[in-house]
Structure 1
Amino acid sequence: MQLVSISVCGFRSLQDVGPIPVRRPTILTGPNDSGKSATISALAFLLGAHPLTDEDRTFATASGGDGTAGREVDDHDPVERVETTWVEGEFRLSKKEEADFSLPGTVRIRRIRDQESGVRLELLVDAPEDENLRNLEARPLADLKRIAGGFGVTASADARSKSSWVTALDQFAATRPRTQAWVSVSKQARAALPKFLLFGDAESAEAAIRAALNTRYRSHLEDEDLKQRVRDLEAELGRRVREDAQGLVEHIQQRCPDLVRVDVEPDVSFTSGLRSTKLLLARTNGETVSLGTVGAGRNRRISLAVWEWASELLRRDAESHPAADDQQHVVLAYDEPDTHLDYLQQRRVMALIREQCSVPGISMVIATHSMNLIDGAAIEDIVHLRLEGERTRINRLLSDLDNDANGQYLADIAIALGLRNTVLLHERCFVGVEGVTEQLSFPLLFRLSTGRPVHAAGIVIVGCHNNEGALKFVGYLARSGRQVMLIIDADSRKNNKIFSDANLAKEGIDIVNHVRFVGTPNKEFEFIFTNDQWCDVANVVWPRNDGEPWGPEAVESLRAGKFSTSLLNLFKEGSDSGPISKASMMYEMTRSLKSAADVPAELRDAFLQLEKLAALDS
C-alpha cells in the first residue's frame, strides 16, 4: 500500500492543510515554525508511529470553535483545543491488495481522534446507510445476533460461529441502501500500511536502528528454516501458559457456578519484534556513553552513519521482495538532516537521499532550509509552508490552477530559463525582459541607478527571448500573486505579436500594473541613450578605421528607422573592432556609464518601481 498524499485537520498549526504529496522525495520548505516538523509528526500519526497528545491538538477559541486563521481574538476569550484531530491519506493499492481486501485501486484512510471515541483508524468505503450493518467483523457475537434478529436474518450455517452471522448480515447489507462512510480498517489492511521511519535527532537514530532491525527480524521469521521451529516454540509456550492459568479457571468456576465453561487462551507470538535498541559509544575502553549525550556535530555524523546502514537494510529487504505486489512500502522522513554537518557531510546526506529514493517501495518527506536539497529536487516536489494568523498554509511551486500537465509544462520552462528552486521560493520580484541584451545590461544599469545589485534587492531577471513559453511563465507568476514586471521595447507592442496587448492579456499580464514600455511612444531600448553617450563609448571601444572620431550627427541620422540595427551596422562597418551583436554593443554602453544620472530617466523610474515592488513582498 503506497501513500500518495496526506491532508491534515486540527494538528498543531496544521488546522486545515492538504493535500500534501508524498513523493521520492517531497521537500518541505518555509520559515521557522511554519509547520514543517508538524507535517512530519502528522504523517507519523497517520501511520501509527506518533501517539497523539493534547499538545498536538490545534488551539481554537471557545467562542468561534473553528480557530479561523487571522481571526482577531479578545485577550479575555478562553482558548481551548479542537475536539477532533485527523490525518487522512490517499493510498494506492497493488493488484494483490485490491483482491485480498476487496477494495478499489485508490482508497482514503484516516487516523482520527475525538473526545468521545479516542483514536481510531478508518477507511472511506461504500457502506450501508444503517450503521448497525457496518464494521460487522469487529462486533461481538451477541451484538451480531441482536442485529440479525432486528432484521429477521438467520445464520445459514453454524449458529455458534461468529463468521456465519457476519456472512449472513453482509449478504443482507448488500440489499440495503448504501452511502460513503468511514468504517474501521480491517486487521489485514492495517498491516499493509506503509512503515514510517524518522531520521532526525539521537532518539530517532536509535528508533531507526530499531525499525530497520525489526524489518530484518520479520524477514528472518519468514525463513523456512526458522518458521516451523518458531511455531513449535510458540505452541509449547502457549501450552505451558495455559497450564499456569488453570488455577485461575478453577477459581472462577468456584466463584461463578452458573458459568458452564471458562477458558483462558493465551496468544503467544514472536512477531512483535524488538522492544528496544540502544546505541552506546566509547572513545576509551570502558567509558561508554549514549548517543544523546555526545556533541551535536558528532551526533549528526554518527546518525548519518546509522542512516546509511539502515538504507542498505532497506535495499536488501526490497530485493528480497522483487515482485511489486509483495513490496512493503516505507515512508522515510528527514527533519533538517544536514544541520551541524560540514559541506562534505552534507554531500553525503544528499547522496544518501538519492540512493534511498531509488529503492523500490520507498517514499520520502524532507523538512529543510538547505539550498542544496531544495535546488536538487524537482520543482513539482517542493511544498512551501507559511504561517497566516498562526495557522499553516501551503504553496506548491508551479502548481497552476489549470491541470497537472500545465504545471509540468511550467516546470520545464523554469528549468529551461535556468531558474533555481530557491530563486522561485525566496526572491521577491521577477522582471521579464525581451532577450539577452536586457539580461546583460539591466543588472549593471540597476546597480548604477540604485547603488545595489539586483540580487540584493530580491529581484530576478527573466529573459523571454521571444519565447511564448517564457511569457506564459511570467503570466503564471502574476496570476499567483507574485510581484512581476515586464519591461519591453515600446515598438514591440505593435511589431512583435508575442508582446501585443491581446497576447499579454491572454497570459494574465495587466498592461497597466505589470508592464513598463521603454522607448515610448514607439521606439526601443537602445534609442533612449543620447547621441553623445553612443559616441563616447564608440570612440573608446570601437574607434573608426579612418582615425576620425564618431560624431553625434552620424548617430542622429539613424533614429528615423530601426535604430538598434542601423547603429550596430554603423559601428561594425566603420571599425575593425566593432561590436558583433546588439547585446555586446549594449553591454559596452552600460559599462561606459559613470553615475546614476547617466542612466536614462525611463530606466531609473522603472528601477525605482521594481524596488518598491520587491519591498512589498518582503
Structure 2
Amino acid sequence: MQICDISVEGFRSLFNVSFVPIKNQTIITGQNDGGKSALLDALNFLISGKEPSEHDLSQLSAAPSDSDDQQPAVTVKQIVVTGTFQLSQSERVELGLSELVKIRRRYSPDEGSHLEVRMSVCEVEELRNIESEKIARLKEVAAKYNIQPVGRANARESWTTPLARLAEGMPTVEEWVPVSNALAGRLPVVVYFKGDAVQAPEIVVQSILNSKLREYSKSESSQKRITELEDHLADSLVADIDHIRKHVMKRCGFSALRLNPQVQVRPSLAGVEVRVANRNGHEVPLSAAGTGRSRRISLALWESSSQVLGSNKDDEGSGGESRDTDVVFVYDEPDTHLDYEHQRRVMNLIHEQSARPNARVVVATHSMNLIDGVDIANVVHLRVSEEGTYAELLSDESKDEEVRRHLSTIATALGFRNSVLLHERFFVAVEGPSEMAAFPILFKKYAGVPIQSVGICLWDGGNNEGALKFARFLKSHKRNVAFVVDKDSRTNNKKTFRDDKLKEYGFDLQRECHYIGLPNELEDLFDDEDWAHAANELWKRKGGHEYWTPDDFAAHRGKKFSSAVLDMLKKGSDYGPKGKDVMMTGIATVITKDRIPPALTETFDILVSKAQDAGPHYWDA
C-alpha cells in the first residue's frame, strides 16, 4: 500500500494545506520557516503515528494582517492529516477495499491520536470493528444480540465469526471509522533522515532498525503473538479494573460503571550504541571517533538502508515467498554538512531509491542540484501568503509559461545564488507577492520573452526595511537597482517603500522609483471588464447560474480596491482566491496581451531600457 497524496490541517504553519502529491520522487521547496519540515513531520505522523504535542497545533492571528489591533493568537483544537493510499490487488482482496482509500490520523491534547479510514461500514457502531476488539468486549456484544460462540468460548474466532455475519446483514453508512489491525499493518514503512542526523549515526541506525522491526511485527505470525500478549495483559488487569470500578461506584453513587482499557504492544528500539575500533584495535564509542568519521558512517548507513529495507520474508502470508514491503524514504535537507562529493552520493542514493516500484522518496531541500535533477511536475513549492501556507504545484500537462513562472517562484524563495549576484545587470524590487506573482506572466505576454532574459532580476522586497538595506548594498557595489511600488505607498506611514524612507536610503525618486496605480495600486489598473472576465473563468459564483459583471467590481472603486475585491470573491465563490497574490496571478493568466494596462506596459518598457544600459559591472574587491 503506497501513499498518493497528503492534506494537512492545524499542524504548525500548515493551517490548511489541501493537497500535496506524493510521487516516486517528490521535492519540497520553499523559504525558511515555510513549512517544509512540518510537512515531513505530518507525513511521519500519519503513517508511523509519531504523536505531536500541543505545541504543534497551529496558531492563527485573531486580527487581519493590515489591522492595528493587537489580539492574542487563537490555537486550533486538533491536527488532522489525511492521505490517499493505493492498494495492491492482493491487499484489495484481503481487506475488502477499493484501489484507493482515504486514511487520516487525528490528534488533540485531550484525546490523543486516532487512526481512521473512510469507508462503508455497518450502521451499528459496536459491530464495525469486531476484529480489533478484546474477547471480553466481544462477549458483551454477542450477549446483547443473543449470539452464541461457534467454537471454544476462549477463542477469538468463536465470537468474531458470528458477529461478522450479523454485521454483514445490516445497512451500511459512509463514515470515518477506526482502522483495523489488518489495514494498519499494511501501511508503508517510513524511514526518516534529518540533515542534523549526519553527525549522529546512532540516530540513523536506530531509525533503520526501528523501521525494520515494525516491518517484522506486521507479519501474520508476529501479529498473532502480539494479539495474544495484548489479550493476556488485558486479562491480567481484570481484578484491578474490578477494584477500581467498585470503588468509584461506591464513592460517586453510580449504579453502573464500565472500564475498557485498550492494551497495545508496539515493539521499538530504546536505543542503539555504535562502537568502532581505533588504530590499535580497541573499541571506542562513536562519539570519540571524530566528526569526519561520523559523517562517513552516517552516509554509509543511509546507503545500506536501500538493501536492508523494503524486502520482507512473509513466512505465513505468502507461503514463504519474498514480498516487497512498501517504504517511504523521507529526507529533511540531506545535503546539510556534506561536501560536494558526498552530496552527489546522496543524490545517487535518492534516485536509486525512487526507482524502486515499492518506494516513495520525499525530500525537503534548498539544494538547486536536487531541484534541477527531477521533473518540474515533481516539485512542490510551499508558498507563504497572507492567508497562510499553501502548496503550489504543476500537473504533468502544464504549459511552458506555467513551468517558467513556477521555476521563477522557486528561485525567488530560495534566495539569490552567487551566479545571479555576479552576473545579473539590473535588480528590480517590487512591493510584495502580488507583483512578484503577476509581473513575470504579464511581462512574458507583453514582450514575448521571460523577464529574466532581458537582464531584469525581479525580487520580492516584502515591503520591509531589510529589503531597503539589501538594495542599498547592491547599489553600493555598483549594481543598478529600481523599485516598482504602488502609488499609495508614497505617503502611507504603514508602508516601508514610501518616499521619505527611499530617500533616507539614498534612492533617487525620479530615476530609481516607479509608481503604479489608478489611482492607488496595481490591482486597480485593470478594467472592470477584465476583472469580471477573469472571475467568471476562475472563481465562478456560488450556485453556478449567475455571472460576475463589471458593475460588481466598479462598486469597489474609490475604496481599498484590492482588499474589497478579494473579500467579494472569497465570499461569493466556492473557489475564491486565498490571497491577493493568487488573485493577481489569476487575472494575469487570463488577460490577453492587448488588454494589459498601458501604465504597466510603459513601466515594462522603462525597465527594459534601463536593463540594457545597466552593465555588466564587477564587484569591488
TM-score w.r.t. length of structure 2: 0.57
Contact 1:11 1:38 survives alignment (8 Å): yes
Counterpart for residue 392 of structure 1: 389
Structure 1 range deviating more: 6-15 or 323-332: 323-332
- Helix, strand or coil at the partner of 1:408: coil
- Pick one of 318, 329, 349 that aligns with 2:346: 349
**CA distance, structure 1, for counterparts of residue 592 and residue 322 of structure 2:** 49
Q: Offset of 1:197 from its aligned partner?
A: 0.6
Q: Offset of 1:47 from its aligned partner?
A: 1.6
**CA distance, structure 2, for counterparts of residue 378 and residue 318 of structure 1:** 34
| 1:192 counterpart letter in structure 2 | R
Q: Offset of 1:300 from its aligned partner?
A: 4.3
Counterpart for residue 595 of structure 2: 512
Q: Offset of 1:326 from its aligned partner?
A: 2.9
1:177-216 equivalences in 2 (<5 Å): 177-200=171-194, 201-202=196-197, 205-213=201-209
Q: 1:110 to 1:610 in 2, by over 3 A?
A: farther
Identity %: 30
1:473-492 equivalences in 2 (<5 Å): none
Q: 1:194 to 1:72 in 2, by over 3 A?
A: farther
1:326-345 equivalences in 2 (<5 Å): 326-345=323-342
1:429-444 equivalences in 2 (<5 Å): 429-430=439-440, 431-432=443-444, 443=454
**CA distance, structure 2, for counterparts of residue 328 and residue 281 of structure 1:** 31
- Pick one of 397, 400, 411 that aligns with 1:426: 411
Counterpart for residue 46 of structure 1: 46
| 2:86 counterpart letter in structure 1 | R
Contact 1:6 1:90 survives alignment (8 Å): yes
Counterpart for residue 548 of structure 1: none
Counterpart for residue 541 of structure 1: none
Q: 1:411 to 1:280 in 2, by over 3 A?
A: farther
**CA distance, structure 2, for counterparts of residue 484 and residue 176 of structure 1:** 49
In the alignment, does 2:376 pair up with 1:379?
A: yes
Deviations 1:118-173 (A, max 9, x none): 222111110123323322333445544554555x5533734835544433333333
**CA distance, structure 2, for counterparts of residue 135 and residue 481 of structure 1:** 46
**CA distance, structure 2, for counterparts of residue 455 and residue 204 of structure 1:** 47
**CA distance, structure 2, for counterparts of residue 444 and residue 91 of structure 1:** 46
Deviations 1:32-89 (A, max 9, x none): 101101111111111225232222222357xx7xxx9859695454x56332212111
Q: Offset of 1:287 from its aligned partner?
A: 8.2
1:87-106 equivalences in 2 (<5 Å): 87-106=81-100
Counterpart for residue 298 of structure 2: 303
- Helix, strand or coil at the partner of 2:596: helix
| 1:25 counterpart letter in structure 2 | Q
Contact 2:275 2:284 survives alignment (8 Å): yes
Deviations 1:249-275 (A, max 9, x none): 9x99xx9xxxxxxxxxxx9x9x94754
Counterpart for residue 532 of structure 1: none
**CA distance, structure 2, for counterparts of residue 37 and residue 22 of structure 1:** 15
Deviations 1:533-578 (A, max 9, x none): xxxxxxxxxxxxxxxxxxxxxxxxxxxxxxxxxxxxxxxxxxxxxx
| 1:509 counterpart letter in structure 2 | T
In the alignment, does 2:109 pair up with 1:108?
A: no
- Helix, strand or coil at the partner of 1:15: strand
**CA distance, structure 2, for counterparts of residue 38 and residue 8 of structure 1:** 10
Q: 1:325 to 1:103 in 2, by over 3 A?
A: farther
Contact 1:375 1:420 survives alignment (8 Å): no
Q: 1:153 to 1:330 in 2, by over 3 A?
A: same
Contact 1:446 1:454 survives alignment (8 Å): no
Deviations 1:180-229 (A, max 9, x none): 11222121221211111111223874343234346667999999xxx99x
Contact 2:11 2:58 survives alignment (8 Å): yes
Q: 1:361 to 1:207 in 2, by over 3 A?
A: farther
**CA distance, structure 2, for counterparts of residue 516 and residue 324 of structure 1:** 71
**CA distance, structure 1, for counterparts of residue 288 and residue 112 of structure 2:** 33
Counterpart for residue 605 of structure 1: 606
Contact 1:153 1:169 survives alignment (8 Å): no
Counterpart for residue 274 of structure 2: 279
Q: Offset of 1:517 from its aligned partner?
A: 12
Deviations 1:335-380 (A, max 9, x none): 1111222222222221121111122311011111111111111111
- Helix, strand or coil at the partner of 1:369: coil
Q: 1:446 to 1:362 in 2, by over 3 A?
A: closer
| 1:157 counterpart letter in structure 2 | V
Q: 1:311 to 1:116 in 2, by over 3 A?
A: same
Contact 2:310 2:325 survives alignment (8 Å): no
**CA distance, structure 1, for counterparts of residue 139 and residue 15 of structure 2:** 42
Q: Offset of 1:103 from its aligned partner?
A: 1.3
1:164-179 equivalences in 2 (<5 Å): 164-179=158-173
- Helix, strand or coil at the partner of 1:206: helix
**CA distance, structure 2, for counterparts of residue 292 and residue 55 of structure 1:** 35
**CA distance, structure 2, for counterparts of residue 603 and residue 76 of structure 1:** 41
- Helix, strand or coil at the partner of 1:88: strand
| 2:594 counterpart letter in structure 1 | I
- Helix, strand or coil at the partner of 1:32: coil
In the alignment, does 2:362 pair up with 1:408?
A: no
Contact 2:310 2:358 survives alignment (8 Å): no
Q: Offset of 1:514 from its aligned partner?
A: 6.7
**CA distance, structure 1, for counterparts of residue 603 and residue 267 of structure 2:** 74
**CA distance, structure 2, for counterparts of residue 174 and residue 222 of structure 1:** 27
Counterpart for residue 36 of structure 1: 36
**CA distance, structure 2, for counterparts of residue 109 and residue 220 of structure 1:** 22
**CA distance, structure 2, for counterparts of residue 445 and residue 52 of structure 1:** 44
Q: 1:318 to 1:22 in 2, by over 3 A?
A: farther
Unaligned runs of 5+ in 2: 244-262, 413-435, 459-474, 485-536, 539-579, 613-621
**CA distance, structure 2, for counterparts of residue 80 and residue 130 of structure 1:** 37
Counterpart for residue 364 of structure 1: 361
**CA distance, structure 1, for counterparts of residue 177 and residue 216 of structure 2:** 34
**CA distance, structure 1, for counterparts of residue 361 and residue 29 of structure 2:** 14
Contact 1:375 1:422 survives alignment (8 Å): no
Q: 1:345 to 1:69 in 2, by over 3 A?
A: farther
Counterpart for residue 58 of structure 1: 58
Deviations 1:504-529 (A, max 9, x none): x9x643533278999xxxxxxxxxxx
Contact 1:318 1:359 survives alignment (8 Å): no
| 2:40 counterpart letter in structure 1 | I
Contact 1:34 1:385 survives alignment (8 Å): yes
Contact 1:137 1:166 survives alignment (8 Å): yes
TM-score w.r.t. length of structure 1: 0.57
What is the aligned length? 441
**CA distance, structure 2, for counterparts of residue 144 and residue 306 of structure 1:** 46
| 2:303 counterpart letter in structure 1 | E
- Helix, strand or coil at the partner of 1:432: helix
- Helix, strand or coil at the partner of 1:6: strand
Q: 1:143 to 1:104 in 2, by over 3 A?
A: same
**CA distance, structure 1, for counterparts of residue 168 and residue 68 of structure 2:** 50
**CA distance, structure 2, for counterparts of residue 172 and residue 73 of structure 1:** 62
- Helix, strand or coil at the partner of 1:386: strand
Q: 1:446 to 1:100 in 2, by over 3 A?
A: closer
Structure 1 range deviating more: 94-103 or 212-221: 212-221
**CA distance, structure 2, for counterparts of residue 446 and residue 73 of structure 1:** 34
- Helix, strand or coil at the partner of 2:396: helix
**CA distance, structure 2, for counterparts of residue 339 and residue 130 of structure 1:** 53
